[in-house]
Amino acid sequence: MRFKFSIIALLLEAVFIVLFGLFVEYDTENINSYLYFKDVHVMIFIGFGFLMTFLKKYGFTSLGINMLIAAFGLQWGTLMQGFLHRGEGEKIFVKIKSMINADFSTATALISFGAVLGKTNPAQMLLLTLLEITVFAGNEYLVTEIFKATDIGASMTIHAFGAYFGLAVTFILYRPGLKNKHKNEESTYHSDIFAMIGTLFLWLFWPSFNSAIAEENERIKIIINTYYALAACAVTTFALSSLLDERGKFSMVLIQNATLAGGVAVGTCADLTIHPFVAMGIGNIAGIISVLGFRFLTPVLASKLKIQDTCGVHNLHGLPGILGGIAGIIVTAVQSETKKGVELTAGKQAAALGSTIGIALVGGALTGAILKLPIWGQVSDQNCFDDSAYWEVPEEEKLYEINSNNYDEHSRFEAVM
Amino acid sequence: MRFKFSIIALLLEAVFIVLFGLFVEYDTENINSYLYFKDVHVMIFIGFGFLMTFLKKYGFTSLGINMLIAAFGLQWGTLMQGFLHRGEGEKIFVKIKSMINADFSTATALISFGAVLGKTNPAQMLLLTLLEITVFAGNEYLVTEIFKATDIGASMTIHAFGAYFGLAVTFILYRPGLKNKHKNEESTYHSDIFAMIGTLFLWLFWPSFNSAIAEENERIKIIINTYYALAACAVTTFALSSLLDERGKFSMVLIQNATLAGGVAVGTCADLTIHPFVAMGIGNIAGIISVLGFRFLTPVLASKLKIQDTCGVHNLHGLPGILGGIAGIIVTAVQSETKKGVELTAGKQAAALGSTIGIALVGGALTGAILKLPIWGQVSDQNCFDDSAYWEVPEEEKLYEINSNNYDEHSRFEAVM
Amino acid sequence: MRFKFSIIALLLEAVFIVLFGLFVEYDTENINSYLYFKDVHVMIFIGFGFLMTFLKKYGFTSLGINMLIAAFGLQWGTLMQGFLHRGEGEKIFVKIKSMINADFSTATALISFGAVLGKTNPAQMLLLTLLEITVFAGNEYLVTEIFKATDIGASMTIHAFGAYFGLAVTFILYRPGLKNKHKNEESTYHSDIFAMIGTLFLWLFWPSFNSAIAEENERIKIIINTYYALAACAVTTFALSSLLDERGKFSMVLIQNATLAGGVAVGTCADLTIHPFVAMGIGNIAGIISVLGFRFLTPVLASKLKIQDTCGVHNLHGLPGILGGIAGIIVTAVQSETKKGVELTAGKQAAALGSTIGIALVGGALTGAILKLPIWGQVSDQNCFDDSAYWEVPEEEKLYEINSNNYDEHSRFEAVM
């Protein structure tokens, strides 16, 4: 991995700088959106990063490679979205909204990262990021510019896209050796608490995420809808988590993930006139779907369909993303909505949803096939979910020295400690 | 607990959605306050949540039930405050300020949660939240609309109210079995560090909390006063923490809590013309009171008055809240202050402080009596302060597998490990 | 330490209140900058604080004394900068920008804290803060008002200054007893994850740091430059971290620190017209310098030059700060830039860089000499890097009770556990 990863990373970084030198300039808009950008930024690096630290021996990779993907991807996302949306022959003019979109584009790769977490190496993740953001930018252009569909909080173009792309990748990279639970694929008490840092910052700033690229005057409605959708979703998630457990106990994996489904699902139609109680209803249904998905669907996907989804992104981003798309179809079907002078229709919304999932699956499968090439060096099944494959990890004996003053006097336990 | 909790939660959530459908609509104000709302939001979910993670085996509940209370309570708070403050026969129009007030209302329940932490179950906490927010909304209406007192940072209506309400509840729920220190009622090295996440985000965003519902032009003074009050309070807390310890050592419980007392105490009069040095003086006194309370008062309350205050909310919110109320009385007594055309008087301020504490104590006692009904199923003394009563907790042996590569070769230690 | 520290702290706090009473009043500017202030505030208390929690037994001090230094220093910084920048005979009028500058001034002391981390006591740190902020305020005045140099993101006046000041202090306080690696001078798995909280919040809010005291219309360019400089720096850091390791593994200390060097280095010229790709180039070079510094320079400094730099502030703040200064010299040499009507010249920039480093080294050496006086009570070499010298630390046996239900049945292991 030493040279493969380093050389790919340095080479691509050099290419980015050249492309920025040729094509990218400052725009001089006002910076009102900076407030929203920062929240998205926190969600990408802290939210996604810490959410994945739940694994007991994979926290360095979750945080570190999450940061790498995002820092790398935001440069490529700036270029890809810039090329597609710039005027004919113009430079790419970067403003706060470009930075939001660049961060958004990395979210797709980070969602897919959740599906393959523990099973890929850093070089593979750089390639996945490069390919996924390219496909994402194309699909996003298709949805917004060709179909002229609405998806203000990106339920479809980011969440469903990232999830199904990642599921296709993990399907292609299927590892029979991980059919039985890997000994490292579990959490510890403190790793679950670290993961809650991610959950909470995602939950708190989701209103900003959904309204980040909206016009100033549309934001209030989006913020209110997302706020109440998430609140309703959280309460329902706690209730179902207890209800589905034999002893009535809460499950951390559900609280960490399903509480967020309401933010995903309300995304597509958060700027439409849906009334707060409908937003809450969407949040509720999202919570129910997500909890049921974790409990009943994920095990089936793994055992029957060879889809090993480490973080359960299907339940957090996939199903709630589709729900968001469907909500958008229904709202545009039952009431008249226009945006920038164009009428929204159920047909356009359905086309957007269908194309997003189709492109994600095909793009993910092709990406998976490329990542499967032997040249990248797969990590062995045994070393999956283990930071020490790619990180210098503090020697674990050290933990014991803290705890025991008598350590030196009991050297016969040293091997165990 | 399985059905009791789930059914209460799902039922109330359904009621909320119906009430929102009947009464709640969007307001279309500008969203300048969103900047302040987000900070309050972080304080409620990250600040309060992590502050309570100091207990070694209760981090899941601290973070999880904190989130549940807040997500549940903000919906109820929207309705309660909306009903009281809406125009005759009008809908409740939700804007950013409503969201701030909804978050505020949950703060009272979260403060009370700190008093009973480790000793109640999730169903009891839902009821407490429902009842406390109802009483809070009534008292807040009384203080602002009837007495026309000022309490911009809610020293009285949130902090003192939440503390005395919670103390009354914990008094009623007194457990003789916890008279001697419970083996789980202590911190670990890392749980204390997790708690500092809560402390720091509370400390950092307190200027936003105190100025969140102020008019735009009043905010600068509030922010400055709170900033310097907290700085002075923190320095004094460190000094006293060392001074009161025989070996001169700092105490984490004091640093985690008493450093925040300045923000509480400066709240009532932060928008009055008090000069920065007076704010610092208030911060100083708050730090002193809070440290002394933790050191000398809490043990007495527990042993003599049967008030078992897990987090010491009396020292962080109760006494500093009263100090804030008294500061408001003094300032309005010595100088003329008007607000929205109404003159503030020491009498009105004293009435606000007295009614707040009285209503909190009575409301808390009644709530405690309801929570004490056998139907809710009390957790046994032995299982107090232990997440595993309500959560699936990772098996602790797992922690050891991380630490020892030789684990499998030493299976005779398995029972211990 | 009990009385020494407490009395110094209380006395100085009393002096601060008197000085605030005599000299400080509110200013009534608009509060647009509050958005930026808050990010700086988070960086100072969460960013710097958690970044230093990487040591396995020093998390309480890292977070606690970081908070103490900042809360203490911001009051002194307000006074020092206020006296230098106020009009003749006027009061010090405090506004949001004053609070940003107060927080900025504490950053210098916190950077120096990183150099001496683990080797000083709280009383020494109060004195260091007092002295360093005094010298900083003088140098900042010299650079901006006399030399009229530009340093919008404070690469020179904060980062290089804080680093070289701290290096001079640690040189004077050289401990031969720590020549061989101290057993506590290392991280654990979870302490490294805590440190990433600091890294990420610093990384995320650096665009706000660099633009915090800029004019509203200059901010967009600074934000864009810093955003892309950091992204490029992060990718390069990951690449080099792997490349320089024999097995190609990433090193946490590099990811935690060198990823931030781009934010430091782009600071001086972030508001000049440098194009985004140049910002990325600066970020790249900063990452390279910082990684090389950690790998090759720090060990040499410690062994040959008697400079024991605990956190490697030379590599994160020192070298990248100088790089920022040089970038400023080059940009002002090759193109014409004016600011507030004054032309920027390479000569002025070079004078600023030189004076900053010179004053920092001399100031640091004098401060180190004062801190070395026996009166302050040095911690013994053996107790370095250990919280329990200054904190009540939870007994470590407790950790084991969590982990083992069988604990009581195996009392013969008690001594080890």
Under DSSP, the state recorded for B273 is S
Strands C342-344 and C337-339 turn out to be: antiparallel
Nearest CA in chain B to C411: B416
Are C98 and C76 in contact by the 8 Å Cβ rule? The answer is: no
Measured CA to CA, the distance from residue A218 to residue B214 in angstroms comes to 24
Which residue in A186, A245, A396 is closest to B394 by CB distance? A186
Asked whether residue B408 carries a pLDDT value surpassing 50, the answer given is no
Angle at B47 between CA B42 and CA B48, to 5 degrees: 120
Report whether C329 contacts C350 (CB < 8 A): yes
Q: List all residues 6 or more positions away from A169 whose beta carbon is below 8 Å from its beta carbon.
A: A112, A115, A116, A128, A364, A365, A367, A368, A371
DSSP state of B373: S
Q: Name the minimum distance, in Å, from the CA of C369 to any CA of chain B.
A: 25
- Cβ partners under 8 Å of residue B241, min gap 6: B250, B251, B254, B255, B258, B291
Residue B159 CA to residue B143 CA, distance in Å, equals 14
C216 C-beta neighbours (distance < 10 Å), count: 12
Q: At what angle do helices C34-42 and B189-211 cross, to 10 degrees?
A: 170
Question: What average pLDDT does this structure show over A406-414?
Answer: 34
* ipTM field: 0.93
Nearest CA-CA distance, residue B333 and chain A, Å: 40
The predicted structure's pLDDT at residue B1: 65
Per mean pLDDT, which range of A35-39, A163-167, B81-85, B350-354 is the poorest? B81-85
The pLDDT value recorded for residue A398 is 42
- The residue of C1, C8, C17 whose CB has the most chain B CBs within 10 angstroms, and thus the best one to mutate to test that interface, is C17
Question: Residue C334 sits in a domain of what CATH number?
Answer: 1.10.3430.10
Residues of C in contact with B397 (CB under 8 A): 403
Q: Which of C203, C223, C399 sits opposite A45 (nearest CB)?
A: C203
Cβ–Cβ < 8 Å for C335, C137: no
B51 φ/ψ angles, rounded to the nearest 5 degrees: -55, -30
Over residues C193-231, the pLDDT tens digits come to: 999 999 999 999 999 999 999 998 999 999 999 999 999
- CA distance to B63, C44, C162, C178, per residue, from C114 (Å): 31, 13, 10, 16
Least confident of B399-403, C62-66, C369-373, C385-389: B399-403
Asked if C96 and B223 touch (Cβ cutoff 8 Å), the reply is yes
Q: Tell me the nearest-neighbour CA distance from C84 into chain B, angstroms.
A: 19
Total domain count, chain B: 1
Whether residue B127 has pLDDT greater than 50: yes
Lookup result for tokens 């994600």: A360
Closest CA to C201 of B204, A390, B70, A391: B204
Three-class secondary structure of residue A308 per DSSP: coil
Tell me, what's the pLDDT at C404?
39
The average pLDDT across B259-273 equals 96
Kindly identify which residue of chain C lies nearest to residue A68, measuring between CA atoms.
C235
**Nearest one of C356, C366, C337, C357 to C142, comparing CA atoms:** C356
Interface contact C416-A402, CB threshold 8 A: no
Instruction: Place A198 in a pLDDT band, splitting at 50, 70 and 90.
Output: very high
- Residue B261 maps to a domain: yes
Predicted pLDDT of residue C281:
98
Burial C256-268 (b: 16+ CB within 10 A, else e): bbbbbbbbbbbbb
Query: Which domain covers residue C137, as residue numbers?
Result: 31-377
Q: Over 90: is that where the pLDDT of B412 sits?
A: no
Distances (CA, A) of A333 to A144, A305, A346, A350, A352: 18, 34, 5, 10, 14
* Residue C28 confidence class, pLDDT cut points 50, 70, 90: confident
Amino acid letter, residue B212: A
Number of inter-chain CB pairs under 8 A, A vs B = 189
List for chain C the helix, strand, coil content (%; round to 5): 70, 5, 25
Nearest to C6 among B243, B259, B415 (CB): B243
Is the pLDDT confidence value at B138 over 50?
yes
Here the contacts of C407-414 (C-beta below 8 Å, separation 24 or greater) are C407/B416, C409/B415, C410/B415, C410/B416, C413/B416
Residue C2 in domain: no
Contacts of C363 (CB under 8 A, 6+ apart): C131, C132, C135, C165, C168
Identify whether the C-beta of residue C266 lies closer than 8 Å to the C-beta of residue C153. yes
Distance from CA of C154 to the nearest CA of A (A): 21
Q: Is residue A417 part of a domain?
A: no
Rounded to the nearest 10°, the torsion over CA C49, C55, C60, C64 is -30
| Chain-centroid distance, C-alpha C75 | 17
Dump pLDDT digits (tens) for C309-334: 999 999 999 999 999 999 999 999 99
Cα separation of B134 and B112, whole Å?
14
The DSSP result for B317-352, as a single string, is IIHHHHHHHHHHHHHHHHS-EEETTEEE-HHHHHHH
Tens of pLDDT along B23-73? 999 997 778 899 999 999 999 999 999 999 999 999 999 999 999 999 999
Q: Give the helix/strand (H/E) hosting C381.
A: none
List alpha helices for B86-174, DSSP H. Answer: 96-116, 122-141, 161-172
Torsion of CA B286, B292, B294, B296, to 10 degrees: -150
Nearest CA in chain A to B29: A220
- Residue C313 in domain: yes
Record: contact A9-C219, CB cut-off 8 A: no
**Residue B9 resides in a domain:** no
Reduced 3-state DSSP string for A115-184? HHCCCCCHHHHHHHHHHHHHHHHHHHHHHHHHCCCCCCCCHHHHHHHHHHHHHHHHHHCCCHHHCCCCCC
- How far, in Å, CA of C14 to CA of B417, rounded? 53
Reported residue count of chain B is 417
What are the start-end ranges of the E strands in C57-164?
92-94
Q: Which amino acid, one-letter code, is at B282?
A: I
The minimal CB distance from B280 to the residues C17, C27, C122 is found for C17
Q: Is the pLDDT of residue B400 over 70?
A: no
Residue C402 has a pLDDT of 42
pLDDT tens per residue, range B186-207: 999 999 999 999 999 999 999 9
Mean pLDDT of chain A: 92
Q: Which chain B residues are closer than 8 Å to C390 by Cβ?
A: 249-250
- What average pLDDT does this structure show over A176-202? 95
- Of the two residues B397 and A131, the one the predictor is more confident about is A131
Nearest chain C Cα to A394, which residue? C188
Set of chain C residues whose Cβ sits within 8 Å of the Cβ of B242: 1-2, 5-6, 122
Q: Is B208 domain-assigned?
A: yes
Q: Do C197 and B197 touch (CB under 8 A)?
A: yes
- Assigned domain for B412 exists: no
Token pair of C167, please?
């290096």
The answer to whether residue A126 is domain-embedded is yes
